[in-house]
Structure 1
Amino acid sequence: MSPIRRFTHDTFRSLRHRNFRLFFGGQLVSQVGNWLTLVTQVLLVLRITDSALALGLLAAAQFGPVLLLGPFAGLVADRSDKRRLLLIVQSLAMLQSFALAALAFLPEPPLAGIFAIAVLGGVTVAFDNPARRAFVVEMVPPAEINNAVSLNSALMTSSRVIGPALAGLLVSTVGFGWTFVADGVSYVAVLAALLAMRSTELHRGPVTPRAKGQVREGLRYARRTPDVWAPLVMMAVVGTLAFNFQTVLPLFVTRDLGGDETVFTILFSVVSVGSLVGALAVARRTTMDVRGVGVSAVVFGVSMGLLALAPNLAVAMPIGVLVGFGSIGFLTASTAIVQLRADAAMRGRVLALQAMVFLGSTPIGGPILGWITQQLGARWGIVVGAVAAVGAGLWGMSPARGGTPRDVGLTAPDTAEPAPA
């Protein structure tokens, strides 16, 4: 086998499975649409308010429900047919995009309405996230779970390359309303993919029966499992302050680098190119340890510090690639460990807890960084995130966190059996 064919085979091997191919294609279209809405919401609120604090509050509205509903949503995922649950939440998300479009077409879009739909979108994300990520595990055999998880991360990252740039293009040509419409239409792809899947080819894990105390049980399980707990702690810190650099980035571009909305979407896409490279690099790995997650957090933090020092766009663009590489390297590695080490019966709750500490930390960190940016400038907002990422990474690399880091096999144990015909 030639080196190119071997690379292709090793990197994309989980796409041999029909259900995962359908899911991958549908998600690629839909996630590009999601980034259309996320970036367009930011640009619309920035156009209305020109306020860093308002952008931080928007992030809180978008992700606050994940913090509040995370454990319950994970339990719902454990108890439910995940494909059916995804059909419901994706349909609701489509309706929310069309509702945003209706508001954006108004002569003066109401800020309260935009924030209200952002909250509803956060509720949808709270239920979608654990169900979608647990469903990835059901579409491939256990030996290929790491590859599927990593390719799914690469897919999400690819959408970040295309979506923000497309958002800037559409907003500048057809306006905010039609950009939201485009996102609504994109959900047709993922809904069609889910409906076309063969249930007999799914590798379903056990459905958790109803019982008291199941949310607390999930929390206790995570706390006593070092390979789950350490990445969760790092994700809480990095998610609160470092990943919220996206809240600061629009003002960093417009106020410090002299750019406009289009330049912001270009820089965002450049960061995403680095993220795509990082995701594909992790996809080829067969083992990962908690110390490696810490190293990736340090790389992310150092690159953010360099970005904060960038004097102009020409310097910021290549550094943006490093920021993307470090950010997705950290996110993919920590996600893979948590997803693979969690017991199948606990996976939905553990993934919901991960979403809660990562996405749910956004409503805490968003307003904090918004206030810092408002008071001290966008560069300081990025510096705070950089320091947080480096600190979390050094803690993760240290034996003082509770034991010597060990390799975590990225080939999952055989805990899921194929569904009966």
Structure 2
Amino acid sequence: MNGASVNGRAGTFHEPVADAPEPAREPSAPELPETGRSAGAEAPGEEPEGGGGMFRSLRNRNFRLYAAGQVVSNTGTWMQRVAQDWLVLDLAHGSGTALGITTGLQFLPMLLFGLWGGVIADRYPKRRVLMLTQVSMGVLALILGLLSISGSAQVWHVYLLAFGLGVATVVDNPSRQAFVVEMVGRRDLPNAIALNSATFNGARLLGPAVAGVLIALIGTGPVFLVNAASFGAVLFGLYAMWADELHPAAPVKRAKGQLREGLRYVRGRRDLMLVLTLIGFLAMFGMNFNITVALVAKQVFHTDASAFGLASSMLAVGALSGALLAARRVARPRLRLLVAMGLVFGVLEALTGLMPTYWSFLALLVPTGIAMMTIMTAANATVQLGVAPEMRGRVMALYMLVFLGTNPLGAPAIGWLAQQFGARASLVLGGLISVVAALAVGALAMRWSSDEAGGSPDGPKAARPAPARFRRVRAGVR
């Protein structure tokens, strides 16, 4: 099977008619409704009957292959993260600056080229794109492993390969996010996203532990080789998929201005803007746990590195639990759920920073991780289910840029607050900012919903029609 055969089903998979009249809205006073779905968005559709179980999306053979490959590959990725940090510290004689440069170079392509990855995801068959990105990442890991084993690795080698990995990730992220719905369909998309998060956090628990043992026994080089081999699991899963069970959107033809077109599409959608705003503030100020947990563990409770590792594991346990709980949800996530979980997350984070003992601090990291993962999976599903299929790659690229790009921007501010007001302040203020952001988004949603109900003579701004080609029935011909 090849990428062309995947695209072949575009003529047989019919999207819902986007410009069909929407059903009348019910009164919105008791709850936060969805706001501003434009004519280019997919209609919510019917929800599946019955619960279907926590692992219902795994009934899909293609997704089983994909998920199995992700378990192996994510474990290898977390192993490489540990080994890469260890190698840099070894080559740079313990330099924290060198470690920071490595991390920055790996993330820099996302800031520079992240939105272009979405254009690629919309323009080409996603399965073919993912095969190319997985091969690229595997080759980069292989090169780093061979350099390390041969003893010829230098710091600039790691810098260059980290930047290359970031470039591959720019293309991989939006294609991978948008490919999930093509495997499982809209009904099981929230479940599939939650299970993807569960595999990621499960690997986050297992990978570093395995890497630590292997580094102690055989060094960093073989760990990179193990990660290189792990990409074979993803490639096999992609190759073995049944193309006639995929539901691809027709690729967008190459044209000028497609990046600006994606930005205009999001700007004209109030519902998407609210989700992106909430996630941006939470990621920027509330989800810097790699900094905040380390500061509190070391400066407040005076623990060693192993105790900090335990705190990180407790947060990962909470995130894994949150992902599995989210997998049980059947209905499409609503904006009110995002706002409510944003409030819960902010309150829990602030309380975590106030815990008097180390053990109570650890205990509260678990529900904080659950709330964090609940809002992350719900936001991802809300965005993907609310966009036109031919725009999904570009919208998800913007989503990933907001989610991943704001975190490093907020990290220096959080670090400065901790230095000025104490380590606890980094968690408490991060939580309070998250609460304020959730309240503000909720208030805007209620206000705009009131406008849609008839308060504005011109109607809601977000309801203006999308470009005509967003409203066409997609039957394989653009």
Partner secondary structure for residue 211 of structure 1: coil
Q: CA deviation at 1:317?
A: 2.1
Q: Identify the match of residue 279 of structure 1 among 323, 345, 348.
A: 323
Report 1:5-404 matches (<5 A): 9-42=52-85, 57-102=101-146, 110-285=154-329, 286-370=331-415, 378-399=423-444, 403-404=448-449
Q: CA deviation at 1:123?
A: 1.5
Q: CA deviation at 1:52?
A: 7.1
Higher helix share: 1
Aligned equivalents of 2:298, 2:101: Cα separation in 1: 19
Q: Say if 1:303 and 1:165 are closer, same or farther in 2 by CA, change over 3 A.
A: farther
Query: When the two structures are superposed, what TM-score results if normalisation uses the length of structure 1?
Result: 0.85
Q: Say if 1:243 and 1:418 are closer, same or farther in 2 by CA, change over 3 A.
A: farther
CA deviations on 1:4-30 (whole Å, 9 max, x unpaired) are: xx87x4221111111111001001111
Q: Say if 1:358 and 1:320 are closer, same or farther in 2 by CA, change over 3 A.
A: same
**CA contact 2:145–2:221 (8 Å) conserved in 1:** yes
**CA contact 1:56–1:366 (8 Å) conserved in 2:** no
How high is the sequence identity, in percent, across the aligned residues?
38
**CA contact 2:190–2:378 (8 Å) conserved in 1:** no
| Structure 1 portions without partners, runs of 5+ | 1-5, 407-414
Aligned equivalents of 2:159, 2:428: Cα separation in 1: 28
Aligned equivalents of 2:421, 2:148: Cα separation in 1: 32
**CA contact 1:64–1:362 (8 Å) conserved in 2:** no
Q: Say if 1:222 and 1:163 are closer, same or farther in 2 by CA, change over 3 A.
A: same
Q: CA deviation at 1:356?
A: 0.8
Q: CA deviation at 1:203?
A: 0.7
Aligned to 2:38: none
Q: CA deviation at 1:142?
A: 3.0
Aligned equivalents of 1:376, 1:321: Cα separation in 2: 25
- Paired residue type of 2:401: M
Q: CA deviation at 1:298?
A: 2.4
**CA contact 1:257–1:311 (8 Å) conserved in 2:** no
Aligned equivalents of 1:69, 1:95: Cα separation in 2: 21
**CA contact 2:186–2:385 (8 Å) conserved in 1:** no
Q: Say if 1:189 and 1:254 are closer, same or farther in 2 by CA, change over 3 A.
A: farther
Aligned equivalents of 2:222, 2:436: Cα separation in 1: 42
Q: Say if 1:379 and 1:65 are closer, same or farther in 2 by CA, change over 3 A.
A: farther
Partner secondary structure for residue 184 of structure 2: coil
Q: CA deviation at 1:377?
A: 5.6
Aligned equivalents of 2:150, 2:412: Cα separation in 1: 27
**CA contact 2:352–2:364 (8 Å) conserved in 1:** yes
Partner secondary structure for residue 405 of structure 2: coil
Q: Which moved more, 1:391-400 or 1:368-377?
A: 368-377
Q: Which moved more, 1:311-320 or 1:216-225?
A: 311-320
